[in-house]
Amino acid sequence: MKRFMALMSATAIGLGSMTAAYAADVDGLAVSVFPDADQSNVTEVYPTIANDLKLILEQRFSDNRTEDGHDVTVRLTEVSVDGSTILTPDDEFNRVKGMVYVKAKGDAGGPSPFSITVDAKTGAIYKDSDGMVVIPDKALFYNAMLSGFADKTYDAVQKVE
């Protein structure tokens, strides 16, 4: 059965959090995908996901880049649809989960890690004014999910001292 993703949920995720003007300064940004290789095929279905997320993060932090800023590393640990980490080429995903590591320049200790999760609702069906079912565009939904993850990452990094 085709999963209907809620267009409003995808839009809300992408636009849900507005970024503040004063975020922690950032120098390095790195993104990698580290799901359990035996239980996920995300890098086969979405081979550019790490680079796509990095580009969105670079946009979020563009006004806060400095050589003496924090180094931020994002490791995506789960990309799934309704709990399943085995995706088909037709699947949208409705969960992105990962760890974010923030390390201040000159800090002898390890980075400060925190978890970020973005979930979208499935099963909701929206109809246009003619009564036709509205299914969000796959590319728009993909971008909304990654943008939501980037927004949450940006907001959390702001709180790191």
In the structure encoding, which two tokens stand for residue 29, read together?
A: 């940004």
Locate 89 and state its tokens.
């080429």
Per-residue pLDDT at 118: 95
Q: pTM of the entire structure?
A: 0.77
**Cα–Cα distance measured from residue 147 to residue 152, given in angstroms and rounded to the nearest whole number:** 9
Look at residue 5 and give its three-state secondary structure. strand
What are the sequence ranges of the domains in the chain? Answer: 7-158
pLDDT per residue as tens digits for the range 26-60: 888 889 988 665 688 998 999 999 999 999 999 99
Q: Tell me the C-alpha distance between 70 and 67, whole Å.
A: 9
Q: For domain 7-158, which CATH number applies: 1.10.860, 1.10.3470, 3.30.70, 3.40.50?
A: 3.40.50
- What's the CA gap between 159 and 124, in Å, rounded? 34
Split at pLDDT 50, 70, 90, the class of 126 is: low
| Structure tokens that stand for 8 in this block | 């409003």
